[in-house]
Structure 1
Amino acid sequence: MKGPVVAIVGPSGVGKDSVMQGLAVSDPKIRLLRRVITRAPEAGGEDYQAVTEPEFQALVARDVFALHWQAHGLHYGVPRDIEQLRDGASAVLVNLSRAVLPAAQEVFDDFRVISLRASQEVLAQRLAGRGRESAQDIRARLTRADLPLPEGLRQVFKVDNSGALQDAITAIRAIIEAPVGDAAQPEARG
């Protein structure tokens, strides 16, 4: 049995990496996909495979990716081995950009979107706490925080991550564990 591909999306500072790590720790059958990104290896954040742009283009030419896209001046790829990760998994989690969600829905037969949300105040505090962005950058990120998801997505679930991390993990586990088309309520409080 193959687990669903669960896209974790949301604005910067919403806690995507923390939620994904927490979910993987909570259930060894929840697996994390390691994306391929044209980002310097020392940039930190999520666990990813860093490649140069020419290396990325060579991987595209070799048809290594089930899905690939460009966002924020970087190239991102989801390797085809995601299908092997799905075997016997409760779910395979992947951090995706909003714009690529419709394409992902066409590629993966059981595809769910978890749209993480948090209050503007919480996002501002988390972004400031990272120490990576200027006050102006933080304001720009907060302006983009409420951008809508693309139309036509079949299984989208909103989870609030303004509070305790464990609350969001519990809400998402309920979505993952629900049968296809039945996955909890469209809005869950975490």
Structure 2
Amino acid sequence: MKGQLIYVMGPSGAGKDSLLAWLRNHLPAEASVHWARRTITRPVRSGDEQHHSVDAQAFQRLCDTQAFAFDWEANGLRYGVRHVELAPLDAGCRVIVNGSRAYLSQALIRFPELEVIHVTASVDTLRARLLARGRETPAAVEARIERALAFQAPAGAIEVYNDGSLEDAGLQFLRAFHRG
């Protein structure tokens, strides 16, 4: 692998997707970055990340044919990153994967040299953002908060705190990106 694999993860409500969008808009054109597109068992909705939408049966067929470099299940959905999405590594590109905390240990087994960026926020910020989304009951929000508190980022992971403005967190992210 000539390039650098960057694995970005964080709890729901940390603003990971917003930060990834911010980074896309603030990286210089010559940055040589490939944004790994995920395959998800969820329809594409306005405002969502751009992903390959498939049903559960199609996802399983892709698993059966070993199409994925990474695949996991979270929050009732299945996610995968196809091998072809990592191919730019061979050309020396940086590849950014929007990953899962629960899958990180398996990702590190497959790619021990990957750079881990953990996007997080305070408990109060996570709770406020999750409740504002209105997609889950307060009990489900608290369960997500408990999972976030239980997670320990591995040694060497870069922490990006997203409690303030998106630009402040984005600049942290950009500094971390340039260190790698």
C-alpha change, 1:25 and 1:43, in structure 2 (3 Å) is closer
Give runs of aligned pairs for residues 84-99 of structure 1, distance below 5 A. 84-86=87-89, 87-89=91-93, 91-99=94-102
C-alpha change, 1:109 and 1:142, in structure 2 (3 Å) is closer
Distance 2:128 2:151 in 1: 22
Moved over 6 A (4+): none
C-alpha change, 1:103 and 1:41, in structure 2 (3 Å) is same
Worse-superposed segment, 51-60 or 165-174? 165-174
User: Cα distance, 1:3 vs. partner?
Assistant: 3.5
Give runs of aligned pairs for residues 1-190 of structure 1, distance below 5 A. 2-27=2-27, 28=29, 29=31, 30-42=33-45, 45-86=48-89, 87-89=91-93, 91-108=94-111, 110-149=113-152, 153=154, 155-179=156-180
TM-score normalised per structure 2: 0.84
Distance 2:141 2:112 in 1: 36
User: Cα distance, 1:9 vs. partner?
Assistant: 1.3
C-alpha change, 1:43 and 1:15, in structure 2 (3 Å) is same
SS of the aligned residue for 2:97 comes to strand
Contact conserved, 2:40 with 2:51, CA < 8 A, in 1? yes
TM-score normalised per structure 1: 0.80
Structure 2 residues without counterparts, runs of 5 or longer: none
How many residue pairs get aligned? The number is 176
Comparing both chains, which one has the higher relative contact order based on Cα–Cα distances under 8 Å and sequence gaps of 6 or more?
A: 2
What is the root-mean-square deviation of aligned Cα atoms in Å? 2.3
Give the helix-richer structure, 1 or 2: 2
Worse-superposed segment, 91-100 or 42-51? 42-51
User: Cα distance, 1:44 vs. partner?
Assistant: 5.9
User: Cα distance, 1:16 vs. partner?
Assistant: 0.6
User: Cα distance, 1:121 vs. partner?
Assistant: 1.7
Worse-superposed segment, 16-25 or 127-136? 127-136
Contact conserved, 1:32 with 1:93, CA < 8 A, in 2? yes
Distance 2:46 2:141 in 1: 18
